[in-house]
Amino acid sequence: MLLPLGGAGEIGMNFNAYGFGPPDERKWIVVDCGVLFGRETETPGVDIIMPDIRWLAEQREDVLAIVLTHAHEDHIGAVGHLWPELQCPLYATPFTARLIEDKLFEAGITERVRVNIVPLHGHLNLGPFSIDFLSITHSILEPNALAIRTPLGTVVHTGDWKIDPEPLLGEKTEINALRKIGDEGALALVCDSTNALVQGHSGSEADVRTALTDLIGTLKGRVAVTGFASNVARLDTIAKAARTHGREVALVGRSMHRITKAARDTGYIEDFPRLVSEEEAAQLPPDRILYLCTGSQGEPRAALSRIAAGDHPTVSLGPGDSVIFSSRIIPGNEIGIHALHNKLAALGVEVLTVEDHFVHVSGHPARDELAEMYRWVRPQIAVPVHGELRHLAEHARLAKSLQVPQAVVIQNGQMLRLAPGRAEIVDEVPAGRMFLDGRIRVHEGEGFARTRRALGFAGLVAVTLVLDQRGRLAADPAILFEGIPDAVHPPVREAVAETTRRYNPRSGKEQDLAENVRRAARRAAADVWGKKPITRVELART
């Protein structure tokens, strides 16, 4: 049984539950527990979105474990928030485990939960599930696919992956192990769909190393490179390219320090060039320094945005300097990133991106790689996950074209029976999104972000009517306008005054008064403005 509660409908908040056994004695394991990042347009004021797992939490006695495939936020970011609802053991490989510990620390639950470390190529028995960790390649250290064996067959859960023949750091893809599972006969392939719309092959980190090293060699002045801190192979590439061209490397931004420390703690990048501090870097000639910065997505509080705004404490860039964006634009971040490019251009800094230079490759499989994976595993059933519906649909179409007998598109909350018999959706459980709104977790259905989006569109008129004990108006109405052009205020004031003048206190219909005032105010605003503000009327009683 496969039950995705996140990731089947969005690229992010991956959360998949696998169940085995008849309903009354079914045991579950969870694969990945990630977040999705909120967007100002759809979810203003919400930084982090995670799956609603209440259905699974109700049977937490039967949830044996959470297994994490790799350390990206969309796979581990919700562990600190959701572990208390499941309270089961965690399993991950060393580098991933190291970063999960940070999550548990932030959530203040380090004492309550232990992360069980699984070695690379390791094995795990959890009730009816026998799990092999298969090394694969992606854009982070220690990505794993899982071969989940049950008495009814073997499911290969890919996690995030690509085929990188030269990942530079860490293991290569265990192609032979995947082929062997195919030879034995695989029941299902539950597979990354992120780039199912992309033709060709994602390319290799080794190719980026060559191109980036050459590019950095052509630059004069200060060089700053920004990218995803979690791509340690890329950081290693950039640091070594700097040294090749006689530049010292300084890390700028918290994630850069955090990730490189985790990589070093777990035995990676032992030959990483010696770093200089931001302060030391500031003393060096411009052509002797390279900054490795956070902020490739235009995040306003990250290092690069602060540098571009001229308010970074130690790093400043100007004419003759260059910034390389060794990253892609995550959809939805275009405007923020372009604004950052514009700010850098205003400083006279040259901006180099993947649009005009070969400075990035994706970590997800393009169609040729998906086809290769299907040739290795040859599953009976293809289940696309990790994608929006358009990616899942196209991935399923591709799988069918590759002769996979069944390709099933499912969405969060749909329970798919993989065996016995044909794959079939047999149930649908509550699913959805939880928002971390500031520090408070709310269900998307509670609508606070939606209300704020409406406030963003047309602002608010709040009227307070003061009534005395006999229901008479005891003061002039207090009217508050927020986010509404001045020209709208007088007609609204007039409408409120007119409506209250017509009120007969002896009628006793105070709620009618409130509703009439609300409607009159809203209508008056709409008449002059063409938009209807949120309009609220409160009663105060003396």
Site residues for a copy of itself, 400-439, by CB under 8 A, read 437-439
Pick one of 185, 300, 445, 456: the residue that binds a copy of itself (CB under 8 A).
456
Beta-sheet pairing, 223-226 with 289-293: parallel
| 230-to-139, 224, 271, 500, 512 alpha-carbon distances in Å | 8, 17, 18, 61, 59
The region of 94-102, 118-126, 466-474, 495-503 touching a copy of itself under the rule CB under 8 A is 466-474
| Site for a copy of itself contains 518 (CB under 8 A) | no
| Site for a copy of itself contains 288 (CB under 8 A) | no
Q: Of 380 and 411, which CB lies nearer to a copy of itself in the complex structure? A: 411
How many whole angstroms separate alpha carbon 449 and alpha carbon 419? 40
Q: Residue 173 is encoded by which pair of tokens?
A: 């893809």
Q: 133 and 121 in contact (C-beta within 8 Å)?
A: yes
| Site for a copy of itself contains 390 (CB under 8 A) | yes
Q: 322 and 353 in contact (C-beta within 8 Å)?
A: no
Q: 249 and 347 in contact (C-beta within 8 Å)?
A: no
DSSP state of 444: G
| Site for a copy of itself contains 440 (CB under 8 A) | yes
| Site for a copy of itself contains 45 (CB under 8 A) | yes
How many whole angstroms separate alpha carbon 335 and alpha carbon 243? 33
Report the length, in residues, of the chain: 542
Shortest gap between Cβ of 308 and a copy of itself (angstroms)? 11
| Site for a copy of itself contains 21 (CB under 8 A) | no
Q: What is the chain's alpha carbon radius of gyration, rounded to the nearest angstrom?
A: 28
Shortest gap between Cβ of 437 and a copy of itself (angstroms)? 6
| Site for a copy of itself contains 392 (CB under 8 A) | yes
Q: Of 49 and 249, which CB lies nearer to a copy of itself in the complex structure? A: 49
| Site for a copy of itself contains 448 (CB under 8 A) | yes
Task: Identify the three-state secondary structure at position 392.
Answer: helix
Shortest gap between Cβ of 302 and a copy of itself (angstroms)? 18
| Site for a copy of itself contains 510 (CB under 8 A) | no
Shortest gap between Cβ of 468 and a copy of itself (angstroms)? 8
* Cis geometry, peptide bond prior to residue 420 (ω within 30 degrees of 0): yes
Q: Of 127 and 477, which CB lies nearer to a copy of itself in the complex structure? A: 477
Query: Per CB under 8 A, which of residues 158..197 are in contact with a copy of itself?
Result: 197
Q: Of 66 and 521, which CB lies nearer to a copy of itself in the complex structure? A: 521
| Site for a copy of itself contains 220 (CB under 8 A) | no
For the purposes of burial, counting CB atoms within 10 Å of the CB of 197, is it exposed (0-12), middle (13-18) or buried (19 or more)?
A: middle
Q: Total residues at the site for a copy of itself (CB under 8 A)?
A: 78
| Site for a copy of itself contains 393 (CB under 8 A) | yes
Query: Per CB under 8 A, which of residues 77..106 are in contact with a copy of itself?
Result: none
Give Cα 275 distance to the centre of its chain: 30
| Site for a copy of itself contains 218 (CB under 8 A) | no
As beta bridge partners, residue 155 has: 148, 188
Q: Of 381 and 396, which CB lies nearer to a copy of itself in the complex structure? A: 396
Task: Identify the three-state secondary structure at position 165.
Answer: coil
How many whole angstroms separate alpha carbon 6 and alpha carbon 12? 7
Pick one of 309, 425, 426, 475: the residue that binds a copy of itself (CB under 8 A).
475
Shortest gap between Cβ of 207 and a copy of itself (angstroms)? 19
Pick one of 124, 152, 354, 442: the residue that binds a copy of itself (CB under 8 A).
442
| Site for a copy of itself contains 487 (CB under 8 A) | yes
Task: Identify the three-state secondary structure at position 14.
Answer: coil
Q: 313 and 281 in contact (C-beta within 8 Å)?
A: no
| Site for a copy of itself contains 309 (CB under 8 A) | no
Pick one of 118, 169, 215, 449: the residue that binds a copy of itself (CB under 8 A).
449
Find, among 70, 57, 71, 69, the residue nearest to 28 by Cα: 57
Beta-sheet pairing, 90-92 with 63-67: parallel
The region of 256-264, 280-288, 347-355, 499-507 touching a copy of itself under the rule CB under 8 A is 347-355
| Site for a copy of itself contains 41 (CB under 8 A) | yes
